[in-house]
Amino acid sequence: MADIAHVPAPAVRHFRSASTESPAVRGMLITIAVAFLLSFLVLPLAIVFFEAFREGFGAFIEGITEKDALAAIKLTIIVAAISVPANLIFGLAASWAIAKFEFRGKSLLITLIDLPFSVSPVTSGLIYVLLFGAQGFFGPFLQAHDIQIIFAVPGIVLATIFVTFPFIARELIPIMQEQGTQDEEAALSLGATGWQTFRRITLPNVKWALLYGVLLCNARAMGEFGAVSVVSGKIRGKTNTMPLQVEILYNEYMQTAAFALAALLALLALVTLLIKSVLEWRYADEIAAARR
């Protein structure tokens, strides 16, 4: 009897499905991922908040309500409020064109959309200086008409739009391509106008990708440093966005004020993530239905 009892068990006990790693490997992978996240993301973020509140909540409030800080916050919001809608319209138009039509130069357009991802933000900023600066291509014309672009809000907005160009289009193109044109054809065959088709069919079909793109675009628009720092001129209270203001304060050893603003920026990123997660949780059914 004892012999029989020994025989069949090992084969069964050692069976693992082909896609399952051993517990040791699993534990190792999870440890690496968690350790990486903790040391490179959570820890720095925690330090930002720790530094911001090191001298108490009052100092933090003081830091973000200081005159130049408030101006920086206001400017950042204005820049985002212009560049996000601009890229929303551009992103929709570009992804619509790419996904729904065949035309010459389509792959070139796709490549161009990606350009801001591959170009260094500093270069992006310099492009605008070379175009609109006093010695630039349009410089004499702009000076003659007393239009200030570089070292002013328009330049910052332009640089931000350039840098955040791909975010919305990149989110929309794959999903629109995957969905094809059949839903639109169906809507048209049912008598809908082009605008009705866009509003009732195309837009709802991509709304989650669009929202995600807008959130990413907004986060980047508010956080952009390199390109903006080139075109802004860093005039305190006038052309400093939040990231620029943080740098200036930090360089002047105003730790608490610098980290207070930095914490505000970080908070913004966290809120963006939170909104996205809440929406995904709240509309999980609808998102799942839309993907089937």
Q: What does the binding site for another protein look like in residue numbers (CB under 8 A)?
A: 182-183, 185-193, 196, 200-201, 204-205, 207, 286, 288-292
How much helix, strand and coil, in percent to the nearest 5, is found in the chain? 80, 0, 20
Distance CA(237)–CA(74), nearest Å, equals 10
Provide the minimum distance between the beta carbon of 286 and another protein in the complex, in angstroms, as a whole number: 7
Distance CA(23)–CA(16), nearest Å, equals 11
Provide the minimum distance between the beta carbon of 104 and another protein in the complex, in angstroms, as a whole number: 13
Q: Smaller CB distance to another protein: residue 183 or 247?
A: 183
Q: Smaller CB distance to another protein: residue 16 or 199?
A: 199
Distance CA(246)–CA(27), nearest Å, equals 40
Distance CA(21)–CA(28), nearest Å, equals 11
Q: Which two tokens stand for residue 289?
A: 């239905």
Q: Smaller CB distance to another protein: residue 74 or 200?
A: 200
Is the C-alpha dihedral spanning 77, 83, 87, 89 positive or negative? positive
Contact 233, 150 (CB under 8 A): yes
Q: Smaller CB distance to another protein: residue 123 or 177?
A: 177
Q: Smaller CB distance to another protein: residue 267 or 290?
A: 290
Provide the minimum distance between the beta carbon of 16 and another protein in the complex, in angstroms, as a whole number: 34
Q: Smaller CB distance to another protein: residue 84 or 209?
A: 209
Residue 222 makes CB contacts below 8 A (sequence gap 6+) with 76, 77, 79, 80, 241, 242, 265, 268
Provide the minimum distance between the beta carbon of 178 and another protein in the complex, in angstroms, as a whole number: 12
Rounded to an integer, what is the distance from CA 100 to the centroid of its chain?
25
Provide the minimum distance between the beta carbon of 176 and another protein in the complex, in angstroms, as a whole number: 14
3-state secondary structure of 283: coil
Q: How far apart are the first and last CA of the chain?
A: 55
Provide the minimum distance between the beta carbon of 291 and another protein in the complex, in angstroms, as a whole number: 8
Q: Smaller CB distance to another protein: residue 130 or 192?
A: 192
